[in-house]
Amino acid sequence: MNAFLERLTSENAAVLLVDHQVGLFTGVRDITVNELKHNVVGLAKAAQALGVPVIHTTTAATSMWGPSIPELLAVLPESQEIHDRSTVNAWHDERVRAAVRATGATKLIIAGISLEVCAAFPAMAALADGYQTYVAVDASGTFSATKREAGIARMQQAGVIVSDYATLMVEILGDNAREVAGEVYGALDMDFGTLLGQVVASYQK
């Protein structure tokens, strides 16, 4: 069976957030800054609600690209370790690989700035190391439409699965009867799902 056909679950998945840093956000052109912030924050919140481990990494945070955006830091635990590195490819940092290994995950959901480097490079490298890798393209950003198109094409050629962040999280949710469903949909800004459920329930009484 193709490993990518096996459903994402809280037990087999981890999320890797790569370089959502203030300096890099200033160059993003393929998605609005507000939408990108919304999406990566939603991804982080939904993953935590689902019990999916989140690994957080930056590059040259004290010099070149600055800290992670405050909106992301605000939703991650204060104890969350940030792996700041010098390598272009996050997967080439042993601490990042060790953090992923420690989760026990076999499937890795990645988002990063820039899409064609910070998300694509570790996605392809982790794939080569035996992980099934997914990139949340709308929780990633880059500096031109051409870079976005080329990055997505290269990942697909390599065998990385590309998707939007909400679909990946809903796949992990799996069942709307789970107690965390309302929290997950809230993290995805789909509160209307919970509201509609309440309306339907009231009519069924």
144 catalytic residue (yes or no): no
End-to-end CA distance of the chain: 44
As beta bridge partners, residue 56 has 17, 82
SS3 category, 121? helix
Contacts of 176 (CB under 8 A, 6+ apart): 193, 197
> How far, in Å, are 21, 40, 51, 132 from residue 117 at the CA level?
14, 17, 27, 18
Q: Which of 41, 118, 127, 136 is catalytic?
A: 118
- Token code pair at residue 104: 């026990």
The rounded distance, in Å, linking the Cα atoms of 45 and 188 is: 8
* Residues with active-site annotation: 118
